[in-house]
Structures are given as structure tokens and as C-alpha cells.
Copies of this chain bind each other. A is one copy, B any other.
Amino acid sequence: MVRRIVIIGANASGIEAASAVRKRDRTAEITLITKEKTAGYSRCGLPFVISGTIPLFKDLIVYPPAYFQMLKLNLRTQTIASIINTKEKTVTIQTPEGAEEIISYDSLVIATGAEPVVPPIKGVEKQGILSLRSIEDGEKIEANIKAGAKSAIIMGAGLIGLEVGVALIERGLQVTVVEMQPQILPQMLDNDMAEHVKSHLEQHGMKILLNRMVEEILGGDKASAVRAGGEILTADIVINAFGVRANTKLALDSGIPLGETQAIKTNAYMETDFEEVYAVGDCAETAHAISCRPICPKLGTVAVRQGKVAGANVGGDNVRFLGALVSTITRLFDVEVGATGISETEAKKNGNEIVVGVVNSKSKADYYPSAKPIRVKLIVEKKTDRLIGAQIVGGEEVTQRINALSFAIQKKMTIRELAKADTAYAPQMCEIWDPMVLAAERVLMKLR
């Protein structure tokens, strides 16, 4: 009997799930449904089209139509899934022509992603408040720049806000970022580390206003200013980068329970509370690999890993997703920034007793030209001596240092082990005592 698999969402996690099913089931009828015009593109690449580094939005398409054909995946774009009937095992969809259709499934994967948060600010209904989640969003920003926009206000100093801010400065715009919190990147970094990133951004001309709530969006029909902390700031573009939230309307309407993060509740197999209904990616709640608390990290790496797990299970395997460490990296102008595991702020909030070590070092031997300053912070659980988090600002090879520390966390490395760890050395590439190891020494000095 041919199994019918329906996947709602056709980006990172949805396609990963479809591919994992196909690997295990050559005959299954696999249907992917997306409301978007374009499927299989990289959202994380959008800022680099805005900046001009990547020529065209369509360059971001990682899975072209040929991929769907090759894997015999039935892709239905511009199609809306309006209701799931978990009893009858059907999904009601609206076709691009507006017709309603009911399709049956044996297994269903919900990969509806996330969407920009729109807080209830006065004036939020105005035209022209832009965001950067989809290719359409990107095209709107691009159109504004082409139409001569010279300045932008970005509401929110999270990862997306700052990446868009950098892109717009690279396109010659004046950029002001307004953030409610007392620091930039509040989800990713502790304040001490964020301060270094902030100075770097300011040196490149980004204006950053912290502790400023956006009270009102001003302008005629089209947003052209915001009032924040009592001050009126005007700009040609106003960008909403308050954050994204799990897209759960379909689940809610269909009686599929959410968890405490307001994302779809799942277990380690990526199953929802309903049999043969899975949820993956930005719309799904998952467990933090260290704290075990429910989180919804909304990261590409997590999305593909969850998609792969759900797809394997749909295909007959019995695989678990082991939780997320929320490893996050970016490069802003020429400063690399990375974090993994638990931050100092988070640990304190959770009541963990921790010891922290920070070191300033160099990315190469001190005498080697172009060695860059690098700052590494480690967070260690006092009770167990185990590394539970790390943050890095500056230097080079930050991504793979974050991966190294993330492997250490995943394998429960103690700070004593890290201080003794074997690392590689060549003067043109790193220091003989890697900053990670030096930072571990700093922690040990406090533990002695």
C-alpha cells in the first residue's frame, strides 16, 4: 500500500523531512504544501542579497524544482493549509485558484515556520513597515532602496535586526537601531560580550539606542518615523525586527496543543500529542540540551536536524532529537560573534551556581601579521565543573571554536579537561595556547 505523507512547509525542516522519508520509502506519495511562491530557499541568506554580496534573491534557492522532481516530491506552492482533522487524518487546503481541497495523510509533518512578531504599538497598522523573513519581504526592502531610501530605523537589536542593519549600511543607508533591552543581542550574549559588538557596530556608523521602547509608529499612510523613549526618529524605511514567533495558527485551529513557549509541543521523536502528526523547525517546541527546559530556538541547524528525525520516524525508524544547544553565530562587518549553551544571564536566572572565565587573546601568534583580538567567555557549572556555555567575540574561526566548545559541552567535558585539552598549533593560524584553553585556565583560577 502506498503511504501518503503530507508536509506543511517547504523550507529547511520540511524538505529535510521529505528527503528523509524518501530515503526510506521509495513509493510513498509525499506532498509538500507552502503558502509561499518559492520553496526551498535559505532565509538566513536574505541579508546578503540586501547587502549586495549575493546578486539575486533566486540565488538563495537551495532546492530547485529539479530536486523535488528527482525525489518525486509533490510540491504545491501558494497553497494554504487551513485545517487539520487529526481524527479523519486529512488536511484542508486552499489552492492558488481559491478552491478548497481535502487531502488525506498517513503521516503529517507540520513545518509552518515562524513569522515576524507585530507588537500592539500605536500605528502598527501603517503601510510600509518592512520585515525580512521571506523573499517577498526582501524584494520590498530592495525596492525601497532602489527608490532612493537614504535612512532606516530598525526596531530590535537581535540577530536579524543587526544583520539587516549591516546590510543597509553597506548599501549606503544611515541606520538607527532601537532596542528595548539594555543591550544588543539579548537572546545570544551576556551584556559584557554584547558591549564589544556594539562598539564595533558603532565604529562602522550604526546608531544604536538601547533601553528605548518604541511607543508609536508615525507617518501618513506610510510609516516614516517612530517615537521611542519620547524622541521622534524619522527615516525613509522602518523595519520590524522585534523578533519572530512560531507560526501556530493552523495547529491551534486544529486542536494540536502548544507548549509553554507557545510553539507546538513535541516529544523527542518530534511527535505532537497526536499520532502520526509531527512538528519540526521554527514552529516546534523542543528541549534545551543542557537545561532540558522547553525552548523554541528558531535556528536553521535545529530545523534541519528535527526535520531529519521526523522524516526518519515517518519512514519507519525510531530516532530521537537530543535537544538543542542553541549554537548561534554571525559576522557583523568584520567582527565574528558566536555563542553556545547557557549564558551567564540565563544560568543566574535559572538559579545555577556558576563560575565564569573571560580571556582576551589573539587569533594567531602575536608576532604574526593580521592576528586579530579575540575574546572568549566560558560558563561553568560549579557543582559538576562542567562547561555549560561559551561566547566568543572577535578573532577568526569563531564558528568552529563554537563547534569545538559545543562538542565539549555535548560530551560533558569538565573545565579541568578543557584546560588540559590537546589543540593544534601553527603560528599563521592560531596561538600555541588556544584562547579556549586560556579561558578554561581563568575559570580554574577561580575554582581553586
Interface residues of A in 133-188 (CB under 8 A from B): none
Q: Indicate if the CB atoms of B424 and A406 lie closer than 8 Å.
A: yes
Q: Indicate if the CB atoms of A403 and B400 lie closer than 8 Å.
A: yes
A427 to B163 Cα, complex, angstroms? 12
Whole-angstrom distance between the Cβ of A431 and the nearest chain B Cβ: 10
Q: Indicate if the CB atoms of A330 and B401 lie closer than 8 Å.
A: no
**Which one of B336, B368, B426 lies within 8 Å of A429 (CB-CB)?**
B336
Q: Indicate if the CB atoms of A54 and B369 lie closer than 8 Å.
A: yes
Q: Indicate if the CB atoms of A420 and B301 lie closer than 8 Å.
A: no
A330: chain B residues at CB < 8 Å are: 426, 428-429
Of A42-50, A101-109, A242-250, the stretch lying at the interface with chain B is A42-50
A404: chain B residues at CB < 8 Å are: 400, 403-404, 406-407
A397 to B403 Cα, complex, angstroms? 11
A447 at the interface (CB under 8 A from B): no
A287 at the interface (CB under 8 A from B): no
Indicate whether A301 sits within 8 Å of B424 (C-beta atoms), given known contacts A12-B432, A45-B365. Answer: yes
A186 to B289 Cα, complex, angstroms? 40
**Which one of B304, B413, B423, B427 lies within 8 Å of A44 (CB-CB)?**
B427
A401 to B327 Cα, complex, angstroms? 15
24 A-B pairs within 8 Å (CB atoms) are namely A42-B367, A44-B365, A45-B427, A54-B369, A301-B422, A305-B422, A324-B422, A325-B422, A329-B424, A340-B422, A400-B400, A400-B403, A401-B403, A402-B424, A403-B404, A403-B423, A403-B424, A403-B436, A404-B407, A406-B423, A406-B424, A407-B407, A407-B421, A411-B411
Q: Indicate if the CB atoms of B399 and A367 lie closer than 8 Å.
A: no
A440 to B369 Cα, complex, angstroms? 35
Q: Indicate if the CB atoms of B304 and A432 lie closer than 8 Å.
A: yes
Q: Interface size class for chain A?
A: 35 or more
Scan A339-372; emit 1 where CB is below 8 A from any B CB, else 0.
0100000000000000000000000011111000
A434 at the interface (CB under 8 A from B): yes
A322 at the interface (CB under 8 A from B): yes
A299 at the interface (CB under 8 A from B): yes
Most buried by B among A397, A412, A432, A433: A432
Where the two chains meet, the residues of A that have a C-beta atom closer than 8 Å to any C-beta of B are 12, 42, 44-45, 48, 53-54, 59-60, 62, 289, 299-302, 304-305, 322, 324-325, 327-331, 336, 338, 340, 365-369, 396-404, 406-408, 410-413, 417, 420-430, 432-434, 436
A421: chain B residues at CB < 8 Å are: 406-407, 410
A72 to B402 Cα, complex, angstroms? 38
Q: Indicate if the CB atoms of A54 and B368 lie closer than 8 Å.
A: yes
Q: Indicate if the CB atoms of A368 and B45 lie closer than 8 Å.
A: yes
A401 to B299 Cα, complex, angstroms? 21
Q: Indicate if the CB atoms of A424 and B327 lie closer than 8 Å.
A: yes
A406: chain B residues at CB < 8 Å are: 404, 421-424
Name the CB-closest residue of B to A56. Answer: B367
Q: Indicate if the CB atoms of A410 and B417 lie closer than 8 Å.
A: yes
A426 to B336 Cα, complex, angstroms? 11
A408: chain B residues at CB < 8 Å are: 407, 411
A325: chain B residues at CB < 8 Å are: 422
Q: Indicate if the CB atoms of B432 and A331 lie closer than 8 Å.
A: no
Name the CB-closest residue of B to A323. Answer: B422
Whole-angstrom distance between the Cβ of A370 and the nearest chain B Cβ: 9
A60: chain B residues at CB < 8 Å are: 367
**Which one of B367, B399, B411, B422 lies within 8 Å of A54 (CB-CB)?**
B367
Q: Indicate if the CB atoms of B300 and A432 lie closer than 8 Å.
A: yes
Q: Indicate if the CB atoms of A429 and B301 lie closer than 8 Å.
A: no
Whole-angstrom distance between the Cβ of A378 and the nearest chain B Cβ: 13
Q: Indicate if the CB atoms of B327 and A423 lie closer than 8 Å.
A: yes
